[in-house]
Amino acid sequence: MSEAAAGSAGRRLSAITIDQAIAGASNVLVTILAARTLTVSAFGLFGVLFLIYVLVQGSIRSLVCDPLLVHPDDADARPGDATASAIVAGASSGLLIVVVGVVTRLWIYPPLGIALVLLGVVVPFLILQDLGRYFGFARQHAGFSVLLDSLWLVLLVPGVVVLSIRDTTSLSAFVIVWGGTGAIAGLITLVRFPPSPPYLHVRWLRTTWAFAWRYVTSFAASQGGALAAALALGGIASAQALGAVRGALLLTRPYSTIQIAAVSGGMAEIARAGHTGAALRRYAARTSLAVGAFGALNGAIMLLLPDPIGELVLGETWNATKPLLLVASIHLVVVGLGTGARAGLLGARAVRTTLHLDLTFIGVGLVTAIIGSVLAGAQGYYWGTVAAAGMATLLWWIALVRHDGSPQMDPRVAEPA
């Protein structure tokens, strides 16, 4: 890669990182605003709604958005196909949420039911907002992604201020403000990348299915594995141990932002440039070293964090989380060193290999986390995840070195799951 090309790639990665930081900060801010605006019970219900949104977004992202990163040529040539498929998937999910909301409104708990109906109405537009971000990544126009996330954030804050001035603590009102402002950002995607005729079709899903079903399988398995590991830790050790781990994960969010940006940007960069062989490995090595170094920096900051600041951020959880910070720092570095290899394989469309490795690591990580929890509670849980991450990093690099650089299937052929 020439110096000019490397600089251009670095600027794109920086823009993607900024976007991920805005998106992550927005999620944290939404939680804080909800906690300060809603009653305690309404805040708890909003947590349920937000979890539903995250699961729907992650599933459709795996089906529609992630394949954009390894099909940048199609993102340029036929963006309308991806938009149409996203509309169908988002509308289908939204309709299902509305039906559940109506049932909940009539027979279970009316306030939650009404909020679910409102969420179902805005979900298709929130999916379009997320699709627009991925269009920016794939088309190397990350500034568009930054615009969408910034717009949602800029519109959200004054909306919540109005709720506060009016002393409104209604869950439905908060969902309207949060979801409605995100929907406005989603409309920009619809205008910028309108669906191709006949407007409601799944042509994009059909032509990228060989990738999409593997992405969504990996997403579902990772979510299920994380939930199972958390439940095991809570059951084997205690709720306090689970809270301590959650506290450590909160402090590693800056690293997570960089890692996600590196994978997303790396996938699109490798797929568009067609890196193979030594060039692919060099790009992966640079990415891994950069992300690993940032993980070390994040870890050093955590370890040097004064108690007053730690207590300000985590409250009573700080004392339980503090003993985990060393192993959490090691975990960041180990995972970071494998990031470039994973991005390289995904960008090179080695989809069979990545799915097999993802599922293997999820299973291994669950086993080592449970064993660690039995042996040493929260400390053992984290050391178990470090052991699994070390094995994963090693195998990612072995797989990348052995990869011959060619896609493992014709990406235009829909392969049955």
- The pLDDT score that the predictor gives to residue 142 is 81
Q: For 326, phi and psi rounded to 5 degrees?
A: -65, -50
Provide the mean pLDDT of the chain: 86
Structure tokens at 407: 């896609």
Q: For 202, phi and psi rounded to 5 degrees?
A: -125, 35
Q: Which residues of 295-329 are buried (b: 16+ CB within 10 A; e: fewer)?
A: bbbbbeebeebeeeebeeebeebbebbbebbebbb
In tens, the pLDDT along 41-57 reads 788 788 889 889 999 99
In tens, the pLDDT along 317-338 reads 888 889 999 999 999 999 999 9
Burial class (CB in 10 A: 0-12, 13-18, 19+), 154: exposed
Structure tokens at 20: 């991920």
Residue type, 401: V
SS (H, E, C) the chain: CCHHHHHHHHHHHHHHHHHHHHHHHHHHHHHHHHHHHCCHHHHHHHHHHHHHHHHHHHHHHHHHHHHHHCCHHHHHHCHHHHHHHHHHHHHHHHHHHHHHHHHHHHHCCHHHHHHHHHHHHHHHHHHHHHHHHHHHHHCCCHHHHHHHHHHHHHHHHHHHHHHHHCCCCCHHHHHHHHHHHHHHHHHHHHHHCCCCCCCCCCHHHHHCHHHHHHHHHHHHHHHHHHHHHHHHHHHHCCHHHHHHHHHHHHHCHHHHHHHHHHHHHHHHHHHHHCCCHHHHHHHHHHHHHHHHHHHHHHHHHHHCCCHHHHHHHHCCHHHHHHHHHHHHHHHHHHHHHHHHHHHHHHHCCCHHHHHHHHHHHHHHHHHHHHHHHHHHHHHHHHHHHHHHHHHHHHHHHHHHHHCCCCCCCCCCCCCCC
Q: Per-residue confidence of the chain (417 residues) as pLDDT tens digits?
A: 445 455 555 566 667 778 877 887 787 788 778 877 888 778 878 888 988 999 999 999 999 998 888 888 888 888 999 999 999 999 999 999 999 999 998 888 888 899 999 999 999 999 999 999 999 888 888 889 889 999 999 999 898 888 888 877 788 999 999 999 999 999 999 999 999 888 788 899 988 888 888 889 988 888 888 888 888 888 887 778 888 888 888 888 888 888 888 888 878 878 776 667 788 888 889 889 989 999 999 999 999 999 998 888 777 788 888 999 999 999 999 999 999 899 888 888 888 888 889 889 889 999 999 999 999 888 999 999 999 999 999 999 999 998 866 555 544 444 444
Residue type, 31: T
